[in-house]
A and B are shown apart, each in its own frame.
Chain A
Amino acid sequence: SQQGEEDPQALSIQEGENATMNCSYKTSINNLQWYRQNSGRGLVHLILIRSNEREKHSGRLRVTLDTSKKSSSLLITASRAADTASYFCATDRSTGANSKLTFGKGITLSVRP
């Protein structure tokens, strides 16, 4: 069963605009991660936020986590055409280091030049 559910399913924006993607989950988590997948390629880890953290930044990425609402958001600022990809949230419910991630179905982001 899907633990994470991303929203929206698809997003199309103009280059330079910000992209906001949301993820909701159902049960308690150890951490939540966001991954990017370019067409025909494997997934690439973007950022991880732990259950005791509320916000984290990495370059143009900002992720927030609200454990009371069981939701997370990923913000990509000043988007570029190269950001066009599918984005997945993944939740880790293991007690140790992540060994079992549960992925959502993904968000397709298109950034128009």
Chain B
Amino acid sequence: NAGVTQTPKFQVLKTGQSMTLQCAQDMNHEYMSWYRQDPGMGLRLIHYSVGAGITDQGEVPNGYNVSRSTTEDFPLRLLSAAPSQTSVYFCASSSRDATQGAQYFGPGTRLTVL
């Protein structure tokens, strides 16, 4: 199993550009989430999904869109990039099984917005 994969690993955007961060998992997990990590801030939840076709907002959703058309994929779209969105983005997945609990994280995408 590849686990959770994210592409690209690095990206530089200009203010106002749009892009999609890709996330895929091969563990058949129902739950998927996007976090951003900023220095001294820990991880903050952007959007999450409890299954295909179902998404909801997290703590910091403004400026981001998500969709979940399949169980495997959960892309994050930046609509109009701003310097405040410079961050490291992590995708995570977890099982709906209440006996499980761990979230499995991808390696991250380091985004710089100029």
Contact = CB atoms under 8 A, between A and B. Distances in A.
Report the interface size class on chain A: 20 to 34
Interface stretch (B12-20, B66-74, B78-86, B99-107): B99-107
A27 interface: no
B87 interface: no
Contacts of A1: 59
B53 interface: no
Contacts of A45: 101-104
Contacts of B90: 42-43
Contact of A99 (B41, B44, B50): B50
A97 B45 contact: no
A69 interface: no
A65 to B, nearest CB: 13
Given A42-B107, A88-B43, A106-B42, A100 B101 contact: no
A60 interface: no
Given A42-B106, A43-B90, A97 B98 contact: yes
A38 to B, nearest CB: 11
3 closest Cβ contacts across the A-B interface? A45-B102, A42-B105, A48-B101
